[in-house]
A and B are shown apart, each in its own frame.
Chain A
Amino acid sequence: MYFNVLGEKVSGARYREMANAAKNRRELIAAGLTSRRDLFKMGLLTAGGMLVPKLGLSARARSVIPAANQLASPATRSFVQPLFIMPQATPVPSLNPAPTIAPDTAAGESRTRNHQGFAQFPPNRFFNVVQQAFQVSQSPDLPLQTIWGFNDGTNLCSPGPTYASGYFGSSHNKFGRAHSNLVRNNNGLPTVQHNGGFGIPSVTTHLHNGHTPSESDGFPCDFFEIGHFYDQHYPNVAAGINSNFPGTGDINESLSTLWYHDHRVDFTSQNTYKGLLGYYLLFNDLDTGEETTGFRLPSYPQFDIPLVFADKVYDPKTGLLAFDLFNLDGILGDKFLVNGRVQPFFEVQPRRYRFRLLDTGPSRFYEFFLTDLNNLSATNQYWVIANDGNLLPAPVKVTSVRIGVAERVDIIIDFSAFAGKTIYLENRLNQINGQGPVIFSTSGTGATECNCPEILPAGGGNLLMQFRVSGTSVADNSADPATQTFYSLPSTAGTPAVVRTFKFDRLNGQWSINGQFMDCNNIRVHVQPNSIEHWILTNATGDWTHPVHIHLEEHQILTRTTPATGSARNPPTLAVERSRKDVVQLHPNERVELFFRFRDWVGRYPLHCHNVVHEDHAMMLRWEVDPNGGDHVEVP
């Protein structure tokens, strides 16, 4: 029995038509219908209102089992609106009432624990941010959308204003100083009676990848309600500051590209889909934000552009953002947004740019290619310089890079090779449901990566944004990545205090870790402060890929064991994975072993799948750095 969008029964023939959508689409491409004009016809470059020439070409219709209630967005034109660049967050001179070490409960603060680093790193820059609803155009072909964003008193937007700060101990960055930030997050959201169909006005804002004291981390269970506030202290210190690199932190633990997002337990997918996320960038004496100093990376903000990727669905009748409330597996959209706008264009100069790419999901993986629609057979390369916001030992030249939800890569594109042309950033990863990329083969040998996902032909994927490259040559003071080196990887030597195993599983549709489920009151792991541990993640969920995130400390991948051969790869095959990471892609049936050194701060943190739909359905656990000592439970 088969159903259409309204739950009406449809014939088996109609159902097969829908299931064949992807195949049809690829057949068209194989048939050579890849000119710009044909791509328009096919809906790949959705020109408004043109009917596709063959049934079922939408990514949304490509689900093997269409649920009864899948929507398909109305038509929108591509590349008709400019890229939105989030403004820099604006500090305020002071906060009233002044921040305090103990929670200021009387004034309406919802923090439940004292600040750990307040006295040691007194805040010297203050932000007063209100999370609130506002209206925005995400496409000129859609009505105004009421979404949730961040208001720093100067700008109200989603993605929210970009925090840009100097690291502790740094003075030669673009700000000429170090910042210890105190962000007062105020919940000014409308009552739930005005949520437009999804989202809960109860929030906790996580600084993703921050080496942040627990009480300021945005722990999922630290949510607070309308009319209250929560002071989050970000000392911006490198790991090691209170442990193995006392007083300075380890420069090789420097972070660059962080982001903030709502982490409200059980409701993260809805609240982030609604807009509660943004970028948080850190600069130091090497990654200065100025292309004439330090590593000489393209200057922020002119040539250093943070990009937020998200896929969404709009209701075909109202044109309003729709969230699939009753999805347990993962949500895919059929509209691709960059910085909160559907398929924008960006005018660039023929020189090097640094782009920071962030996948905000809810559930989609991306593999980014540069595509010239007038020369589809060309191999267009770019440089990956950072993984999860951490500069690599040296840039890696690639034709593509793949990221999952919450992962970031910083890349450098040299547009001088494309002067006068129009090119596209294209996602060519085939994904048809929440399981993750379509896996082509789980075999693989030698240097080839296993769990090979299906890559769509050039021009046959999702064109995310358009670069219009000026023909007029300009100065470029940034360094050639081919000549650069960045940070060394911190040592992974040392005997772990304990080797723990976390099995990611699915029991009758219930997402679990070691057979248990998220519970804010259940502390599953106690870690000894300033100790080394190895955490092994295994994937027992069959065809599912999980982007797994662990707060507080970054990890390095020691081994990634492939299912077919059982052989461990040490170091990981992909050069970009020889890095510090805070999210690891756990492919079908894989086992990864991670190195951790838990330092400097104590308290509660989560480990979770960052497919936010899995996360909201309990594929998460609470662990703690416990000043009273760690446990040695190997299967927590």
Chain B
Amino acid sequence: MHHPSRRNLLSLLGMAPVAGAALSANAAGATQSFAPETQADARERVRQRYFPDVPLRTQDNKKVHFYEDLIKNKIVTINFFYAKCEGVCPGISANLVRVQKLLGDRVGREIFMYSISLKPEEDTPAVLKEYAQSYHVRPGWKFLTGDPADIELLRRSLGFTNPDPKLDKDKSQHTGNIRYGNEPLMLWAACPGLAHAEWIAESIGWVDRSRVQNPVARP
């Protein structure tokens, strides 16, 4: 009787779920029934909230699924761009090339880099391949395209949005941040794509808990 989509809709609208209502209205101090949560459950909760497992295509025209193939069990960086972007994209892509060099052979083994096209209609795998080659991108960095609706879902799920509806629609104003994170550890943060490459590389290191330095002495 409490179909999940209805329950979620009620939640979205800020209304009390009916099931919770019946329980908590019961008596003073009565608690609603919530299932206890393990760390695995918490990870699943993060997955459901942020990582739709949509199909995408790489610059090598290989079909991949966003969560299962690209995110699960990995340390990753994620940014959005499009090939013909003349605003912040060239600077950010060039910066990421420097980040890839600084991270060395860890990229592709421990750390995986993803750049997702905001204009999937024009950014075919072939276009992405040419783009990657023009920047001398090395292995471990995938350029991704897909169904426009899936890309839009990804963009919103990953928070690359603008609260101003006009700016949100204007792709030239797209968010230039780089999301970095460690999926199994649920550690996520972000930094500007135009920050110093050395700083971006150091920041990515924080979510690789096997390599943490203590303390970090700085001049």
Question: Chain A residues in contact with chain B, CB under 8 A?
Answer: 1, 3-9, 14, 17-18, 21, 43, 46-52, 55-61, 63-72, 74-75, 77, 80, 110-112, 140-143, 191-198, 200, 202, 221-225, 228, 266-267, 315-320, 322, 324-329, 334, 433-435, 507-512, 517-522, 542-543, 616-618
Distance in Å from the Cβ of A111 to the closest Cβ of chain B?
7
Contact A55 B13 (CB under 8 A): yes
Contact A510 B192 (CB under 8 A): yes
Contacts A75-B21, A317-B45, A325-B46 known; list 12 others, CB within 8 Å: A4-B5, A63-B163, A64-B165, A67-B161, A196-B37, A197-B42, A198-B188, A327-B159, A508-B174, A508-B176, A517-B194, A617-B190
Q: Does B126 contact A (CB under 8 A)?
A: no
Among the listed B5, B28, B191, which residue makes an inter-chain contact with A8, where contact means beta carbons less than 8 Å apart? B5
Complex Cα–Cα for A48 and B31 (A): 10
Among the listed B24, B157, B203, which residue makes an inter-chain contact with A49, where contact means beta carbons less than 8 Å apart? B24
A6-B48, A195-B186 known; A318 vs B195 contact (CB < 8 Å): no
Complex Cα–Cα for A20 and B92 (A): 37
Q: Tell me the nearest residue of chain B to A60, going by C-beta.
A: B14
Q: Tell me the nearest residue of chain B to A111, going by C-beta.
A: B215
Interface size class of B (residues with CB under 8 A): 35 or more
A326-B159, A520-B199 known; A72 vs B189 contact (CB < 8 Å): no
Question: Chain B residues in contact with chain A, CB under 8 A?
Answer: 5, 7-9, 11-18, 20-25, 28-32, 34-37, 39, 41-43, 45-46, 48-50, 52, 87-88, 149, 152-153, 156-165, 168, 173-177, 179, 181, 185-196, 198-199, 202-203, 206, 209, 212, 214-219
Distance in Å from the Cβ of A187 to the closest Cβ of chain B?
9
Chain B residues lying within 8 Å of A111, measured Cβ to Cβ, are: 215
Complex Cα–Cα for A55 and B51 (A): 28
Distance in Å from the Cβ of A138 to the closest Cβ of chain B?
12
Complex Cα–Cα for A324 and B186 (A): 12
Complex Cα–Cα for A69 and B49 (A): 6
Contact B20 A52 (CB under 8 A): no
Contact A43 B15 (CB under 8 A): yes
A74-B16, A74-B32, A520-B218 known; A202 vs B176 contact (CB < 8 Å): no
The 8 closest A-B pairs by CB, nearest first: A58-B14, A49-B21, A509-B175, A326-B159, A48-B24, A510-B192, A75-B16, A319-B34
Q: Tell me the nearest residue of chain B to A61, going by C-beta.
A: B14
Q: Tell me the nearest residue of chain A to B149, going by C-beta.
A: A1
Contact A197 B45 (CB under 8 A): yes
Q: Tell me the nearest residue of chain A to B168, going by C-beta.
A: A65
Contact A196 B42 (CB under 8 A): yes
Complex Cα–Cα for A65 and B162 (A): 8
Contact B14 A517 (CB under 8 A): no
Among the listed A7, A51, A222, which residue makes an inter-chain contact with B16, where contact means beta carbons less than 8 Å apart? A51
Contact A509 B31 (CB under 8 A): no
Contact B8 A5 (CB under 8 A): yes
A48-B16, A325-B188, A328-B175 known; A69 vs B50 contact (CB < 8 Å): yes
Chain A residues lying within 8 Å of B152, measured Cβ to Cβ, are: 1
Q: Tell me the nearest residue of chain A to B175, going by C-beta.
A: A509
Complex Cα–Cα for A228 and B149 (A): 48
